[in-house]
A and B are shown apart, each in its own frame.
Chain A
Amino acid sequence: MKVSKLRKRSASPTILDPAIIVPAIGQAFVKLDPRTLAKNPVMFVLEIVSALTTVLLIRDIFAGAHVLFQAQIVVWLWFTVLFANFAEAVAEGRGKAQADTLRATRASTVAKRLLIAGNHELYEGVAAEHLQVGDLVLCEAGDMIPGDGDIVEGIASVNEAAVTGESAPVIRESGGDRSAVTGGTTVISDRIVVRITAAVGSSFLDRMIKLVEGAERQKTPNEIALNILLVGLTIIFVFVVDSIPSFASYAGGSISVIVLVALFVTLIPTTIGALLSAIGIAGMDRLVRFNVLAMSGRAVEAAGDIDTLLLDKTGTITFGNRLAAEIIPVPGISDAEAAQAALLASEADETAEGRSIVALAKEKYAIAGETAPADARFIAFSATTRLSGIDFAGRKLRKGAVDSILKFVRDESGADIAEPAAFRAAVDRIARSGGTPLGLAEGGKLLGVIHLKDVVKPDVKERFAALRRMGIKTVMITGDNPVTAASIASEAGVDDFIAQATPEDKLRYIRGEQANGRLIAMCGDGTNDAPALAQADVGVAMQSGTQAAREAGNMVDLDSDPTKLIEIVEIGKQPLMTRGALPTFSIANDVASTSPSSRRCSWRSIRSSARSTSWACRRRRARSFRRSCSTR
């Protein structure tokens, strides 16, 4: 897993960037179309009011009335609608600029479609947009990969800058968790055969363009709720303002339509109505800038409401690379024997741990690089067996989680071998020190323990404490045994941990938490993570992960950095908080800004009729009554 430094896709453009402002001004007028505006009820009402007052204004102009005041009000009403549209257009504009760069990379390419599977020489040139799901395509050095797919053959270094913005090439190979390739990326070396898995128009790049453009934006549940509140307030104020003329006429005065309109517009929550969609768009945009793609606005919002974070220990809580520190043989086995076995069992293991075991065996134990014969069968690590190793010449060498190794030894020997006391002591000592013990065995014989050192990242403890203050529970997921897990969990300060976790355990834990009404976020990259990613409320898939994982999650991290899950929650909280702060401001604002105009118009009607109205007289009488009461 590539752990890159947190990096922003591009510097945040300033609000005053003319490249965004100028088109946004044009968009503000385009968005006056009632069909577009109808999605925003408050602004739609405002547009209707503006249109009606415009009609009245035109009528009054022809009637030869003095209309300077009225005209100004009408102009400012239209400005209010335009400003709201402008806010939305500015928010969208920031995404549009990015979509254009993406679109430029999706230049139409000619794909080399294989005519016969397995024959690399026989292919035909096909335009990328005519490729179909299941087609096999040959990509050689310098070729652009024509569409999303899985590598079925070969290994290549691929430049994914078009999608991730990161120009350092990554290795993609058939099989395993790194087999997915994205259309629009370029093969730098070697050749691969790719099976196309996404139809034209639904590829990762296409979806990314639609997302950053905001074309697929749907209102989040929170936004819908807030909208209902705003509509409710607007309806109430329609009735309130409608009732004023009857009060006024009862008082013997009259209030002009334009004054009523002005009162109505200051009463309805225009500010938040205008900015609501801009806040939502900006939330998505902030994630994109952070190199995370949210597949829906709903996911962004869920991220802000997360109660529980499931964090993989490796790479998130501890540094990704655990390194072998020592090899401890069981009594009766020499250091050299154990080191030799460790070397062979790790030879095909390309992980940092595997390589560190090879290096340790070669350096500390001076084992010559004996290589396994060509007919050796490598056993890859899997989350279920939690073992890896090699089979050759009748020998079966394995390394892996201690209990899995013990099970392997018992299965191989067919006897219920007792665990040697020295072995258990070594395992416990390593576990207590926060390290990871790896069992080592050959066939039915236990050979020793490899000590992998695990280092907790320096700043995680403070971050988990901050998350706890926010009411978010952190859960560490690890394949380690419970003792090791507990030691690291306490060092890192997480609230809970799942030791010896299988993909099913994760899924079960997520379901359990959700049954208690909690929202869960997790990240993952492997196909075996896919069910849990799909079940979690926020599932962040790594761009470097498999196609299955990327399909299952509702967010994709283009940097493939699991640490970012914590930031995603923080970014998710921002639109929620802004959506809380702005209505507070807006409603307080409406209360305050209404008072000058409403006081003025009530004064007008009262003043014009003070001498004759019973309403004003009654108030005066009431006041004198109170005065007389207090003197009495």
Chain B
Amino acid sequence: MGLSTPQSAILSAIVFNALIIIALIPLALKGVTYRAVGAAALLRRNLLIYGLGGIALPFIGIKVIDLAVTALHLA
């Protein structure tokens, strides 16, 4: 992923882990949009959005935080 140092990678992962909670509060409170479709279609859709999103987002998020951490010389 081309993160600067091992230390900044670890720190970024921890920071991401904390910030994602704040980011997801609106979703938790608002709830997932309800659609009147069957359970199978719903599962497929949710797996696609939240599964793939859940895999992709940390890579982007951690990279961005790593850049910030490096720029601020925190690790």
Residue A271, interface by CB 8 Å: yes
Residue A222, interface by CB 8 Å: no
Min Cβ gap B53→A in Å is: 6
- Cβ contacts A to B, 8 pairs, < 8 Å: A72-B75, A80-B18, A87-B22, A469-B37, A584-B46, A584-B47, A585-B24, A592-B58
| Contact B54 A76, beta carbon cutoff 8 Å | no
Q: Which of A84, A262, A575, A589 contacts B14 (CB 8 A)?
A: A262
A576-632 at interface with B (beta carbon < 8 Å): 577-578, 580-582, 584-589, 591-594, 596-597, 600-601, 603-604
| Contact A589 B11, beta carbon cutoff 8 Å | no
| Contact B17 A80, beta carbon cutoff 8 Å | yes
- A87 to B39 CA separation, bound complex (whole angstroms): 29
Mask of A105-144 contacts with B, CB within 8 angstroms, 1/0: 0000000000000000000000000000000000000000
Min Cβ gap A240→B in Å is: 16
Min Cβ gap B61→A in Å is: 8
Residue B71, interface by CB 8 Å: no
Q: Which of B14, B26, B55 contacts A591 (CB 8 A)?
A: B55
| Contact B22 A83, beta carbon cutoff 8 Å | yes
| Contact B49 A15, beta carbon cutoff 8 Å | no
| Contact B11 A72, beta carbon cutoff 8 Å | yes
Closest to B25 in A: A87
Residue A574, interface by CB 8 Å: yes
- Which B residues touch A587, using CB under 8 A? 54
- A597 to B19 CA separation, bound complex (whole angstroms): 17
Q: Which of A189-197, A272-280, A394-402 contacts B (4 or more CB under 8 A)?
A: A272-280
Mask of B32-64 contacts with A, CB within 8 angstroms, 1/0: 101011110010001101111111111101100
Closest to B38 in A: A469
Mask of A67-103 contacts with B, CB within 8 angstroms, 1/0: 0110011001101100110110011001000000000
- Which B residues touch A469, using CB under 8 A? 36-38
- A571 to B31 CA separation, bound complex (whole angstroms): 9
Min Cβ gap B42→A in Å is: 7
Residues of B participating in the A interface, judged by any CB pair closer than 8 Å:
1, 3, 6-7, 9-22, 24-32, 34, 36-39, 42, 46-47, 49-59, 61-62, 74-75
Closest to A263 in B: B10
How many positions in chain A have a CB within 8 Å of any CB in the partner chain? Answer: 61
Min Cβ gap B26→A in Å is: 5
| Contact A73 B11, beta carbon cutoff 8 Å | yes
Mask of A455-492 contacts with B, CB within 8 angstroms, 1/0: 00000000000110111000000000000000000000
| Contact B56 A573, beta carbon cutoff 8 Å | no
Q: Which of B34, B53, B55, B75 contacts A573 (CB 8 A)?
A: B34
Residue A270, interface by CB 8 Å: yes
Closest to B61 in A: A593
Q: Which of B20, B29, B75 contacts A91 (CB 8 A)?
A: B29
| Contact B21 A274, beta carbon cutoff 8 Å | yes
Interface of B is mostly: helix
| Contact A68 B74, beta carbon cutoff 8 Å | yes
| Contact A15 B3, beta carbon cutoff 8 Å | no
| Contact B17 A15, beta carbon cutoff 8 Å | no
| Contact B10 A271, beta carbon cutoff 8 Å | no
Q: Which of B21, B29, B30, B42 contacts A83 (CB 8 A)?
A: B21
Residue A209, interface by CB 8 Å: no
Closest to A94 in B: B29
A540-574 at interface with B (beta carbon < 8 Å): 570, 573-574
| Contact A270 B12, beta carbon cutoff 8 Å | no
| Contact A604 B50, beta carbon cutoff 8 Å | no
Min Cβ gap B65→A in Å is: 10
- A589 to B24 CA separation, bound complex (whole angstroms): 12
Say yes or no: A588-B54 contact (C-beta < 8 A), given A80-B17, A83-B18, A262-B13: yes
- Which B residues touch A77, using CB under 8 A? 14, 18
- Which A residues touch B29, using CB under 8 A? 15, 90-91, 94, 278, 282, 285
- Which B residues touch A575, using CB under 8 A? 31
Q: Which of B10, B27, B52 contacts A582 (CB 8 A)?
A: B27
| Contact B51 A574, beta carbon cutoff 8 Å | no
- A578 to B30 CA separation, bound complex (whole angstroms): 9
Min Cβ gap B34→A in Å is: 5
- Which A residues touch B36, using CB under 8 A? 466-467, 469-470, 570
Q: Which of B24, B47, B56 contacts A592 (CB 8 A)?
A: B56
| Contact B28 A603, beta carbon cutoff 8 Å | no
- Which A residues touch B6, using CB under 8 A? 600-601, 603-604
Min Cβ gap A620→B in Å is: 21
- Which B residues touch A586, using CB under 8 A? 54
From B11, B18, B22, B50, residue with most partner A Cβ within 10 Å: B18
In the A-B complex, the 4 residue pairs with the closest CB atoms? A588-B54, A593-B58, A466-B36, A574-B31
Mask of A399-440 contacts with B, CB within 8 angstroms, 1/0: 000000000000000000000000000000000000000000
Closest to B31 in A: A574
| Contact A471 B39, beta carbon cutoff 8 Å | yes
Residue A444, interface by CB 8 Å: no
- Which B residues touch A591, using CB under 8 A? 55
| Contact A596 B3, beta carbon cutoff 8 Å | yes
| Contact A589 B46, beta carbon cutoff 8 Å | no
- Which B residues touch A278, using CB under 8 A? 25, 28-29
Residue A266, interface by CB 8 Å: yes
- A591 to B38 CA separation, bound complex (whole angstroms): 28
| Contact B10 A601, beta carbon cutoff 8 Å | yes
Q: Which of A271, A582, A592 contacts B59 (CB 8 A)?
A: A592
